[in-house]
Amino acid sequence: MSKTEVYRWRLDPDLKQRLEILALAEKTSVGGLLDRIAREWLAKREADEEALQRRLHAEAKKWIGSIGSGDRHRSVQGRERVRAKLMAKHRRLQREAPGSRRR
């Protein structure tokens, strides 16, 4: 992979010296060392994020679908129940409307 991007920043002289010593000990350049350090840091960060997401999903799975009404046909009869409630509300509003005749 060829490197085409340049990034510059100011370093504390002590930090620069420590990086140069470490790069020399590893027989690489300071740029190569910083590239490796950045890649390792990013990989660890991504792994931590994936682990967090797995934990969150596992915790959420404990609760998804756990609220029950005791009525196993509730989801199947949903449309009919909503329709019945809307009709009851409509009838009630008609009865309460000013000028409406009571039966």
In a domain, 46, yes or no: yes
Distance of CA 86 to the CA centre of its chain: 36
In a domain, 84, yes or no: no
In a domain, 35, yes or no: yes
pTM, whole model, 2 decimals?
0.51
What are the CA-CA distances from residue 24 to residues 1, 14, 16, 35, 64 (Å)? 23, 15, 12, 15, 55
Q: What is the pLDDT of residues 15-30, one digit of tens each?
A: 999 999 999 999 999 9
In a domain, 45, yes or no: yes
In a domain, 40, yes or no: yes
Q: Which is more confidently placed, 26 or 100? A: 26
Structural domain range at position 23? 11-61
In a domain, 94, yes or no: no
Compute the C-alpha angle 92/96/101, nearest 5°: 100
In a domain, 87, yes or no: no
pLDDT score, position 65: 67
Contact 23, 33 (CB under 8 A): yes
- Residue 90 has phi, psi (to 5 degrees) of -60, -45
Q: How big is the chain, counted in residues? A: 103
Q: Give the count of domains, the chain.
A: 1
Please say if the pLDDT value at position 100 is more than 90: no
Side-chain-facing half-sphere of 83: CA atoms under 13 Å: 4
Contact 19, 25 (CB under 8 A): no
